[in-house]
Structure 1
Amino acid sequence: MKFTNISQLVLLILLCSSTSFVHALTFTVTSTDDNGDAMLFNGSCEDVNGNCTLRAALQEAQLSFGADTILFNIPGAGPHRIQPASPLSQLTGDIFLDGSSQPGYSFSNPHVVLDGSLTPAGTNGLHLTGDNCAISGLAIVGFQEDASTTPISGGAAVFFDGVQNCRLTACFLGLEADGSTPNPNYKGVQMTTIGAFSSRNNLIGGTGAADRNVISGNEDAGLYLEDSDLNQILGNYIGTDKNGTFAVPNLCGIAISSSTANIVGGNTAAARNLISGNTQGGMDLTLCSSTIIQGNYIGTNAAGTQAIPNTYGINLRLFNNDNQIGGNFSTEGNLISGNDSMGIKLVGVFNRIQGNRIGVQADGISPLGNGEAGISIPEGNGNEIGGPNSTQGNIIAFHGGDGIRIHAATGSTESNLISHNAIFRNMGIGIDLGFSFASNPNKGKTPNDATASPDADTGANRLQNFAMMTATYDAGSNTLTITYEVPSDPLNSAYPLTVEFYAGDPADANPQGQQLVGTDTYTALDYAAGPKTITFNPAFPVVLTGAEPFVNTVTDDNNNTSEFSFTPVLDGHPLSLQAAAKARHIELSWQHQQSDVVGYELERAAVGGRFEAIFYTSHLQPDMRFEDQHPLPGTNRYRLRLLKADGAQSHSNLVEVQWEVERRLWARFEGPTLHIGLLAGAPLPTHFELFSLNGQRLAAWEEQLQKGENAFSKTFVHLPHGIYVLRSRRFPQGVKVRK
């Protein structure tokens, strides 16, 4: 039953004794006039002139039983223009409106134009209020919004009003029948909810070429979905002419709000949407979850070889979660290239950007960069760019800004995994971890933090430190040898760490990661042991010539990924560091002579131990000096790290100094017994604590100290072999001790 009010039902009852109703009626429109049906409820479409108009056919279909079909057979050469003067009857369910039945129709040349230019403001072209409707083969133009209402109402070419299982195919929405001349509606398609009923399981387009809608030239969104779930948008051209060769812009291509589990595109070329040429963005998502965006061309022509730019490609604007852009396989990836601004901007949590080509042509090689960053995350946690599998990596190249930019304040952009991507030839840097984008939009490379406990700083992805490394490639044996260490204290980073090693493009001014050569796991034991050496024998598709720069990223166990490392970072001795043991400290000195150096970090290690930063300064003067008031017992090894204005780093020579007198705090294990020595300036009780390298406190106790040298011991029978940290309140920096 498709009756919309009580008066219609009453009229039906009055007529039942004399009227026979036929199920599944077919009405054929033969006139472009706007007259209504001369006699309702008779199952026949005739106006006062004996013709069947679209208005009359919709009136009869609305009042009948069964699944009704409306065909067209308007005499004369098309296209034929129907201009209603008031809103048409709603499609209240089980109605198929088939414009493709008009003689002369082809899927690229509809022969029936529904023109709303004579209707009042706020009129929708076709208003669907019942399920199981289908519309095909029309050009729908000229329906305008009512701007006097709040919010603005009406003006959609096709309005899905809380309906299910409806289909829209082979229509031009916002374009005349030639497929290139704009005659805008306010929106092309609008889907929304009515009461408790959301628009669900509807299909816009399809996987056949003849199913394609061209939705272009509209004043607002080409498609706007609000509170609408489980719908599919397949195989359409949105923002271009019918051939996908030039822009006929909507304000926004597709806008989706407060909706779940909609699908845009698919894993075949037939399901691909072309979303290009739109004044603002290709796609705009707000408060959406479980959206799948796959296989689309966004910002290019239909061939994927030239730009038809949107302002931005995809904007996940606010509070979006668990959405998928691309997928695990190459057929699921989108082509997001040629846009004026960013390729993808993401605000939200647990979204995945995988398998896409961003900034290249459809061949995955030729340049077609977006104007700014390839991917920008101003706020969001737990997102994945790429993934743990090689098939999930994105190509991110040739952009006017950074490849990937993550740039919000502390705590708002953490645990964003960046893995298995090919990132190269971006004019900025490959990966940029920053702070507030508004205050510092082009921050550039971030050196590893220079602190006594490295990686204690916070920011985007916790500003995870990258690995310091050297790399040598032997082409004869196809062997890449890497020596590296990660200056990331296990107290500050979640171990184990995953280190990805990349070969960059030799043409990159700022080396980025084009080819993933291999990965390695870096443990807390590796951190304690000092530099680690590994080798790789790269296999296809990795191809090395020996000219490539080598860089790395580091990802902690919470998926915080670093920037690409600097290169080179460990070679060279650009100045001479001097060291001398004094009565109560070790004095280190050097001369500041290089104008491009903006800071120094002093690192210290015991013999066989790893280097840790103990001092940093950017206050530069010709004669530089530092006093180490707490040397390690035995041999102290020192080196300087030079931090340069262009982001490069290098190290000084290495010096060794023996420290055996007036030690402040020392400790060593002999079997299960920990021997402790401490030089105290006055008698006092002192609290001691023993920690594991991951920060777990294992023991705590009190000792009464005397002025001068103190020696005592404590036994730990069940403590396993490893590296531990002993701290006291007087010496909170503590000392490391190996059992």
Structure 2
Amino acid sequence: MNIKIAPFRRFAVLLFIAVTILSTTTSGATNFTVTSASSTGPGSLSQAIALANQTAGADRILFNVPGAGVKKIDLSQHPLPAVREAVTIDGYTQPGAKANSLTVGDDAVILIQLDGGGPSGASAGLVFQTTNCTVRGLSFTGFSTTQDLSRFKYGAAIVFDSNLFVSRGHVIEGNFIGVAPDGSTARGSYTGIFAGGGNDTIGGTSPAARNIIAGNRVGLTLSGAEQLVQGNYIGLDPTGKKTGFGNTVGVRVNAPVHIGGTAPGAGNIISNNGTGIILTSDATVEGNLIGPLAGGTRGFGNDIGIAVNGSRNRIGGLDQNEGNVIAYNGRGVSVLSQEGRPPATQNRILSNRFFANRLIAIDLHQDGHTPDDYLDADEGENTLQNFPVISSVVRSAAATKVTGGLNSAPSTSFTLQFFVNQPSSNPGQALLGTRIVTTSGAGDAPFDFTFPKGIGEATITATATDPSGNTSEFFPPNGAVQFANISTRATVGTGDNIIIAGFIIGPSGRAPTVLLRALGPSLNLGGSLADPQIVLRGSNGQQVAVNHDWKTSQEEKIRATGLQPADDREAAVVASLPSGQYTVQVSGADGQAGIAVVEVYVLNPLESDVSELQNISTRARVGTGDDVLIGGVIIRGDAAQRVIVRAIGPDLAAAGITEALPDPVLELHNGDGALIAVNDNWRTDQKQQISSTGIPPGDDRDAAIVAKLLPSGYTAIVRGKENQTGVALVEFYQLP
């Protein structure tokens, strides 16, 4: 046995200490044995740390405090000195203590408790101002002081102090942090572990390495690079199944750290907290249970499973084993930027299993479901990336065929992931498969994938991730969909040969705001209408609004839409319209003629129970060559929309319209101009489908097409058969 000797001025004191602080040297390492539960004095942990600080090399502090039961070291009046030399502090060396041996649960016997005394006590438990230390087998409670005793004034059980020191490479394993040794009493600290170093390990893959981190204001604060958090219970008691042990925040991450892993035992169980994990940037979260209890059973969840405040984080991964189970929370993953900072983007959320989250699985901007928008032009968290829309699922015992499409940034490749959702009576989710699609120049990527697996009656959902790592929300069941824009291009003549567009505003409980435009000069077409004017009329023919040159009235309102015409001579109107039928007339000023476009835009956000533009019907003259009638529609929302498109000519003659087109031919094209369908006489194709809509044309020579269209832009072209000319109608109707 070697006695540690202090400088001469403390020689007398150390002779007395040597009676109870036993020190032995083995292979260059010195063991210091704690024999007293006093906060200071002979045999205390405080004195053992002081002696270890005077000894170079990786020392060990062991425990052999006499007597049975838990030995509580009250640090409320006498905080421990900072650790300034590499040391292992091993509470499992106390006689009767033992490390956990259970794969599920924790049967550790911890007999050494460090207590801070609560609000009036110590500000920190163990403070490390050195490298490569290990702490195991201790209970930390009550470091929640409100006194400004140190720069850790809010209280932390364990501190890696990297403010003025190099403090990294530490291992914290097999401890109760915020839980008393009995495993049943939560007595947390403001912060369980304040890890400001780097290259540290909290927990591990073996059962013995598991920490119980519960009952604290913040379980872990991680501020050092390359820190690893594995195998811990965060927010749960040692059984992993009791409530009342949650942290307000389980893990707060301020650095590129790694939480969990794919090796057996690497995943943490993070449940029963206000927020399970808060991420800033560049962190990896994989292989964890976030919300379930130990064993993966139905859990208490967290209010928010993972809150992402920054960018470039990875939650899960392309490998299915990298995915987390994120279940039973309020929100599963919420991406919301910190106030005053740029949007949080490039956050990959891949291969995770989401289910039974009460509000939403993935929430971009923490405001509930965000609908898709045309061409994904909106901005925000994860660029508010559009999700894929699934239009049909065909099931068999051995395979599942999924059809749909993604509308997003043009000419871009996206990673689509498809998931199987089990019914709520037996909740669960599994990854069905991952596929890559590339959008066209019009932003569309239709898909038709067959996966070699039967799914029974389960439902399918999907996400999309762009090349920068922005993952979307999930495709929702029963998503809202509507016409967002309708337009028609035709030739404006004189007299009655003008463009007449009709549309219907459906009952929605609100008066939607619409923008009407009549374009001519900006079309850059030969023979375009030089000076269009627009008149809006209600169902009884009364004039609602009129405009000639758009800047002459409502200029500020029109500019606020971001859709103001490019030429001052073009016309525009902004109006809030109650439900009903409306007519827009476009003519040329002073009797001018030429090609013009009439447009109707809905400016209100998409709502789940609202379908405002239900129909557009435009009447104009059809000529030869390029002088045709062109109708356009933009479908926005979260689902495919059934429509009927009609080209009416002979029916107009029956209604008294002279020079009606005798035999119209109808073409339906997608946003890239590709032909979807064509029809001459409506009974020759889709007769049963068209009749079942309840609005078939009245004359067999009229044309019609029924289609199920994904959110995107579409064009209908009406020509005369064999170059016939005359007045025709082109119509889009929404169908149930």
Q: Determine if the TM-score, normalized by the shorter chain, exceeds 0.5.
A: yes
Aligned residues: 526
Q: Is the 8 A contact 2:508 2:611 kept in 1?
A: no
Q: Is the 8 A contact 1:403 1:424 kept in 2?
A: no
Q: Please give the residue correspondences for 1:107-126 in structure 2 after superposition, counting only pairs within 5 Å.
A: 109-110=70-71, 123-126=78-81
Change (3 A) 1:504 1:214: same
Which amino acid letter does the alignment assign opposite residue 142 of structure 2? G
1:446 to 370, 395, 408: 370
SS of corresponding position for 2:125 = strand
Give the structure 2 partner of residue 428 of structure 1: 359
Deviation at 1:459, TM superposition (A): 0.8
Change (3 A) 1:456 1:293: same
Deviation at 1:361, TM superposition (A): 0.8
C-alpha separation between the residues in 2 aligned to 1:416 and 1:321?
15
* Cα distance per residue 1:652-689 (max 9 Å; x no partner): 679899976796999xxxxxxxxxxxxxxxxxxxxxxx
Deviation at 1:414, TM superposition (A): 1.1
Q: Which has the higher contact order (CA 8 A, sep 6+)?
A: 2
**Any gaps of 5 or more consecutive residues in structure 2?**
95-108, 145-154, 516-562, 565-572, 588-594, 630-671, 673-736
Is 1:189 equivalent to 2:161 in the alignment? no
C-alpha separation between the residues in 2 aligned to 1:529 and 1:82?
69
Give the structure 2 partner of residue 327 of structure 1: 261
* Cα distance per residue 1:8-29 (max 9 Å; x no partner): xxxxxxxxxxxxxxxx51589x
2:608 to 622, 625, 646: 646
SS of corresponding position for 1:343 = strand
Q: Is the 8 A contact 1:467 1:487 kept in 2?
A: yes
C-alpha separation between the residues in 2 aligned to 1:566 and 1:298?
31
Which amino acid letter does the alignment assign opposite residue 109 of structure 1? V
Change (3 A) 1:26 1:516: same
Q: Is the 8 A contact 1:373 1:405 kept in 2?
A: no
Change (3 A) 1:101 1:406: same
Q: Please give the residue correspondences for 1:145-294 in structure 2 after superposition, counting only pairs within 5 Å.
A: 172-175=112-115, 185-192=122-129, 199-205=130-136, 212-219=137-144, 220-227=155-162, 228-257=167-196, 259-278=197-216, 280-286=217-223, 288-294=224-230
Is 1:523 equivalent to 2:435 in the alignment? no
Change (3 A) 1:382 1:98: closer
Give the structure 1 partner of residue 246 of structure 2: 309
Please report the TM-score for the alignment, with normalisation by the length of structure 1.
Answer: 0.60
Give the structure 2 partner of residue 562 of structure 1: 472
Deviation at 1:369, TM superposition (A): 0.9
Decide which moves more: 381-390 or 408-417. Answer: 408-417
Deviation at 1:346, TM superposition (A): 1.1
Q: Is the 8 A contact 1:502 1:551 kept in 2?
A: yes
C-alpha separation between the residues in 2 aligned to 1:576 and 1:183?
65
Change (3 A) 1:402 1:625: farther
2:349 to 407, 418, 426: 418
Q: Is the 8 A contact 1:200 1:231 kept in 2?
A: yes
SS of corresponding position for 2:502 = strand
C-alpha separation between the residues in 1 aligned to 2:350 and 2:315?
7
Which amino acid letter does the alignment assign opposite residue 623 of structure 1? Q
Please report the TM-score for the alignment, with normalisation by the length of structure 2.
Answer: 0.60
C-alpha separation between the residues in 2 aligned to 1:375 and 1:133?
33
Deviation at 1:84, TM superposition (A): 3.6
Deviation at 1:552, TM superposition (A): 1.7
Give the structure 1 partner of residue 449 of structure 2: 534
C-alpha separation between the residues in 2 aligned to 1:529 and 1:560?
18
Which amino acid letter does the alignment assign opposite residue 267 of structure 2? G
1:583 to 492, 495, 498: 492
Q: Please give the residue correspondences for 1:399-414 in structure 2 after superposition, counting only pairs within 5 Å.
A: 399-407=329-337, 411-414=342-345
2:376 to 451, 455, 461: 455
C-alpha separation between the residues in 2 aligned to 1:375 and 1:428?
14
C-alpha separation between the residues in 2 aligned to 1:523 and 1:298?
41
Q: Is the 8 A contact 2:403 2:448 kept in 1?
A: yes
SS of corresponding position for 1:332 = coil
Deviation at 1:486, TM superposition (A): 1.4
Change (3 A) 1:126 1:485: same
SS of corresponding position for 2:226 = coil
Decide which moves more: 527-536 or 212-221. Answer: 527-536
Quote the sequence identity (%).
24
1:364 to 296, 310, 315: 296
* Cα distance per residue 1:610-665 (max 9 Å; x no partner): xxxx9999944333567999xxx9x9999999975337889967989997679699
Give the structure 2 partner of residue 93 of structure 1: 55
C-alpha separation between the residues in 1 aligned to 2:604 and 2:399?
30
Q: Is the 8 A contact 1:267 1:295 kept in 2?
A: yes
Q: Is the 8 A contact 2:490 2:622 kept in 1?
A: yes
Change (3 A) 1:448 1:127: closer
Deviation at 1:395, TM superposition (A): 1.2
2:275 to 342, 346, 358: 342
Change (3 A) 1:661 1:513: farther
Q: Is the 8 A contact 1:282 1:310 kept in 2?
A: yes
Give the structure 2 partner of residue 503 of structure 1: 420
